[in-house]
């Protein structure tokens, strides 16, 4: 029978335990960092895929409008498609108009005009109150301060839709870069 006498010093045992714990923490940290960098967790755009055109509806219109106005730089280059009517202000350039919708703000159907400022070479061809559908790319411009401007790539005259009103932004809406 063999008897082995092991003398354990509490100080050495504590150092060994802390060393093992430190090694485990380093390994876990390395795994987490590898997974984050490997999955492109922090990547905000992917230039290898062409941008898909996102369509705005009456359900998401004001949420998208508010989000893009609040975070212009995140949405530059995004392509969107939506419909509305032409609305001009007196100080707009000839190639500018707002693609507008009427947003209901009270129970007695009082409305305000909301929309994206658009720029288009053929803007003069469309009179105020004409309903159109546009497709374009969001860019950053200036009209009484920084704001998103839609550079129109496609414009088509349409009939007035059955649901021409939009509603205020939803307070539960969580904006992301894939808001559509």
What CATH code is carried by the domain that includes residue 83? 2.40.50.140
Residue 1 is assigned to a structural domain of this protein? no
Residue 33 lies in a domain: no
Q: Which two tokens stand for residue 38?
A: 């490997």
pTM above 0.75, yes or no: no
Q: Which pLDDT score, from 0 to 100, does residue 48 have?
A: 44
pLDDT for residue 39:
65
Q: How far does Cα 136 stand from its chain's mean position?
A: 15
Q: Evaluate whether residue 8 is within a structural domain.
A: no
DSSP secondary structure, 127-169, as one string: -TT-EEEEEEEEEEEESSSEEEEEEEEEEEE-PPPS--EE-PP
In a domain, 126, yes or no: yes
Query: Strands 131-142, 146-157: parallel, antiparallel or unpaired by DSSP?
Result: antiparallel
- Distance between CA atoms of residues 22 and 107, nearest Å: 63
Q: What is the pLDDT of residue 105?
A: 87
Kindly provide the residue ranges of all beta strands, DSSP E only, lying in the chain, ordered along the sequence: 54-55, 79-87, 96-104, 111-119, 131-142, 146-157, 165-166
Q: Is residue 76 part of a domain?
A: yes
Look up tokens 């509305």; give the residue: 84
What is the per-residue pLDDT for 150?
Answer: 95
Residue 158 lies in a domain: yes
Tell me whether residue 79 is exposed, middle or buried, using C-beta atoms within 10 angstroms of its C-beta: 0 to 12, 13 to 18, 19 or more: middle
Count of domains for the chain = 1
What pLDDT is recorded for position 44? 54
Taking a C-beta distance cutoff of 8 angstroms, is the pair 105, 112 a contact? yes
Segments in the chain below pLDDT 70: 1-10, 39-51, 171-180
The pLDDT, as a whole number, for residue 42 is 54
Residue 59: predicted pLDDT: 85
pLDDT confidence of residue 6: 61
Q: What is the pLDDT of residue 12?
A: 79
Rounded Cα gap, residues 91 and 94, in angstroms: 9
- The answer to whether residue 111 is domain-embedded is yes
pLDDT value of residue 135: 95
Written as six digits, the tokens of 133 are 């559908």
Asked if the structure places residue 29 within a domain, the reply is no
pLDDT at 43: 54
- Residue-range definition of the domain harbouring residue 114: 54-166
């Amino acid at each position: 029978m063999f008897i082995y006498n092991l003398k354990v010093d509490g100080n050495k045992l504590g150092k060994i335990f802390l060393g093992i714990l430190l090694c485990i923490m380093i390994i876990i940290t390395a795994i987490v960092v590898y997974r984050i960098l490997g999955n492109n967790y922090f990547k905000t755009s992917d230039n290898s895929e062409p941008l898909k055109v996102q369509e705005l509806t009456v359900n998401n219109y004001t949420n998208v409008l508010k989000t893009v106005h609040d975070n212009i730089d995140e949405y530059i280059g995004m392509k969107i498609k939506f419909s509305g009517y032409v609305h001009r202000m007196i100080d707009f350039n000839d190639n500018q108009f707002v693609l507008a919708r009427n947003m209901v703000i009270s129970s007695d159907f009082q409305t305000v005009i909301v929309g994206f400022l658009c720029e288009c070479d053929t803007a003069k061809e469309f009179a105020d109150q004409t309903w159109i559908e546009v497709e374009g790319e969001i860019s950053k411009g200036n009209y009484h301060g920084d704001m998103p401007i839609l550079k129109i790539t496609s414009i088509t005259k349409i009939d007035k839709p059955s649901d021409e009103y939009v509603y205020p932004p939803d307070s539960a809406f969580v904006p992301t870069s894939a808001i559509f």
